[in-house]
Amino acid sequence: MFLPAPILFSLLILGNISLWGSVLSNENWLYVTFLDVGQGDSIFLQFPDGKTMLIDGGPRSENFDAADFFILPFLKRKHIRHLDTIVLSHADNDHIGGLPQILRNINVHRVVDNGIYHDSDVCRLYKYLLDSLGVEHVAVRKPMVLDSTGSCCLFALQPMKDFLRMNPDDVNNNSVVLKLIYGDRKFLFTGDIEKEAEQALVRYGDFLQADVLKIAHHGSSTSSSEEFVRNVKPEFAVISVSKMNRFGFPSEDVIDRLGKMRIKIARTDYNGAVIFRTNGKILERIR
């Protein structure tokens, strides 16, 4: 099994924690909300200690901004005025589109991305706002630990240094891939990685396993290879996708593959926002 030194060190710390019984109670819920932002991704996490994280900001076009239509109203309803962390998996418009408007309207402590940007208006605006607002910026160029507390650990498994060096312009396959561990429960957030990155991630072996898998690239046939999904062994698979999108996502092959593995599928085009909660022992899909 391949485990970079920082990740291995954090796992050793987690393995020595003997307070799971008191830390993991019904009052210490982690909430993970896969927002329905149309054809794009945006995931909101609220941790047991009250910290908050947003993964991706959905799409933006001339007459539509996922931040204005969906994300900011959602945060307002939850009385969220501060985000501890924003993670941009990669700089495609359907992931970065709403982030400039988020940065303008919400106090953000830290932004994490892979440091690869398109030559586009939205990317230029995003980088300008990071600089002008003085937001802490972390560029993931190799696997690392992003956060580690007594009850939660958040790892960036991807991009990997060697893959990034050999494929510096491959935006999708260099997506920031996150593994979240809370007690006995695990989530894997995959951005838009494709089969090439999936093959690299399989090197993690059993560490890749997760209860909830965010299906990469909106269910495209370029992703969710059988080997990768079998290594993750998820109970739930979540696909963020819009109705009748022009790409034909999700692929019927991907849906069939997940079905044959008896994985429970949730789709934002069918279900709207998809919400999970866990106290580190119990895992519930509550929407």
* pLDDT in the model for residue 12: 53
The token pair that represents 19 in the structure block: 């307070």
In a domain, 100, yes or no: yes
Give percent above pLDDT 70 in the chain. 91
On average, the pLDDT of the chain sits at 92
In a domain, 33, yes or no: yes
Strand order in the sheet with 43-46: 136-139, 107-113, 82-87, 52-55, 43-46, 30-34, 274-278, 283-285
In a domain, 20, yes or no: no
CA distance 196 to 173: 7
In a domain, 21, yes or no: no
pLDDT at 96 over 90: yes
pLDDT at 17 over 50: no
Name which of 17-26, 88-97, 169-178 the model is least confident about.
17-26
Instruction: Determine contact, residues 95/88, Cβ cutoff 8 Å.
Output: yes
In a domain, 23, yes or no: no
Mean pLDDT of 93-105: 98
Mean pLDDT of 136-148: 96
Range of the domain at 202: 5-15+28-281
Query: Domain containing 230 — which CATH number?
Result: 3.60.15.10
In a domain, 274, yes or no: yes
* pLDDT in the model for residue 149: 76
CA 76 to chain centre: 21
CA distance 24 to 38: 34
In a domain, 22, yes or no: no
Domains in the chain, number? 1
* pLDDT in the model for residue 148: 87
